[in-house]
């Protein structure tokens, strides 16, 4: 499918899949959305602890990279599993210029390492951020009670409705430890109901600029 790099509302870039008119991040602001949904309403729930994260759709590595930045010098100790069936090549990811946009020139090498890390092997990118990239289809996720937090960042239900179903959310629920959270930019009623059906306690939260709401599910104790 044809792809191009576009500039979003906050000046940061993302990839657009032209045939689907679908982007890897919000057109209103890629970096802004990533911080709002996954950090503010996800990672920030955790207080100076070891956090095991599963990302549904590693994509450009932006969510992984901002999580690495948040872990900093020990605010968190993150183990991060990024599931992705169709990896973004470094040649494309580097054109997004996230290191510049985030104003972290000294982290250029960390962003590159996220992309160049081998698949399937846990790789320590920093002492506080260990990444395992898993080249797999989301439908094949069979993890049981392994994660504290899931970043659910699949393409939208308009283009991939099969990824926003009870079947997939049941896998997510099983993959979470009790009292774990799943955050997503989506806000559709059908998504909320699918999450509730598998057992999540679902909150509607204010969305990032350009989007009224987003969803967060908690797996009860």
| Binding stretches for ligand SAM (CB under 6 A) | 24, 57, 59-60, 62-63, 83-86, 137-138, 153-155, 160
Tokens found for residue 100: 């510049």
At its nearest, how many Å lie between ligand SAM and the CB of residue 136?
6
C-beta closer to ligand SAM: residue 62 or 194 = 62
Q: Which is nearer to ligand SAM, 52 or 84 (CB)?
A: 84
10 versus 153: smaller Cβ distance to ligand SAM: 153
Put the strands of the sheet holding 147-152 in their side by side order.
123-126, 129-135, 77-84, 50-56, 147-152, 176-184, 213-218, 201-206
Least Cβ distance, residue 63 to ligand SAM (angstroms): 4
Q: What's the rounded Cα separation, in Å, for the pair 27 and 14? A: 8
Nearer to ligand SAM, 182 or 220 (CB): 182
Rounded to the nearest whole angstrom, what is the least distance from the CB of residue 22 to ligand SAM in the complex?
8
Helices (H), 82-165: 90-93, 98-101, 108-116
Residue nearest to ligand SAM (CB): 59
Query: Least separation, in Å, of the C-beta of 131 and ligand SAM?
Result: 13
User: Do residues 133 and 117 make contact, with C-beta atoms less than 8 angstroms apart?
Assistant: yes
The Cα–Cα gap between 178 and 51 comes to 13
Query: Tokens at residue 187, please?
Result: 């806000």
Q: Least separation, in Å, of the C-beta of 29 and ligand SAM?
A: 13
Which two three-digit tokens encode residue 70? 């948040």
Q: Using CB atoms within 10 A of its CB, is residue 213 exposed (0-12), middle (13-18) or buried (19+)? A: middle
Of the pair 85, 201, the CB lying nearest ligand SAM is at 85
- CB nearer to ligand SAM: give 167 or 178: 167
- Smallest distance from ligand SAM to CB 153, Å: 4
Estimate to the nearest angstrom the gap between the alpha carbon of 9 and the chain centroid. Answer: 19
């Amino acid at each position: 499918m044809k792809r191009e790099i576009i500039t979003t509302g906050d000046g940061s870039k993302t990839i657009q899949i032209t045939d689907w008119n679908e982007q890897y991040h919000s057109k209103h602001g890629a970096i802004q959305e990533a911080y709002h949904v996954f950090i503010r309403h996800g990672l920030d729930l955790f207080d100076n602890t070891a956090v095991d994260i599963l990302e549904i759709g590693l994509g450009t590595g932006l969510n992984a990279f901002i999580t690495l930045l948040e872990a900093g010098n020990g605010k968190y100790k993150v183990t991060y599993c990024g599931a992705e069936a169709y990896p973004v090549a470094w040649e494309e990811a580097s054109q997004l210029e996230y290191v510049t946009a985030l104003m972290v020139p000294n982290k250029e090498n960390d962003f590159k390492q996220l992309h160049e890390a081998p698949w399937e092997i846990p790789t320590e990118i920093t002492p506080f951020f260990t990444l395992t990239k898993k080249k797999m289809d989301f439908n094949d996720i069979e993890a049981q009670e392994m994660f504290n937090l899931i970043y659910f960042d699949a393409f939208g239900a308009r283009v991939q409705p099969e990824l926003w179903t009870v079947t997939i959310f049941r896998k997510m629920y099983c993959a979470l430890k009790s009292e774990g959270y799943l955050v997503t930019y989506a806000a559709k009623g059908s998504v909320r109901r699918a999450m509730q059906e598998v057992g999540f306690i679902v909150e509607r939260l204010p969305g990032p600029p350009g989007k009224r709401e987003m969803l967060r599910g908690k797996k009860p104790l």
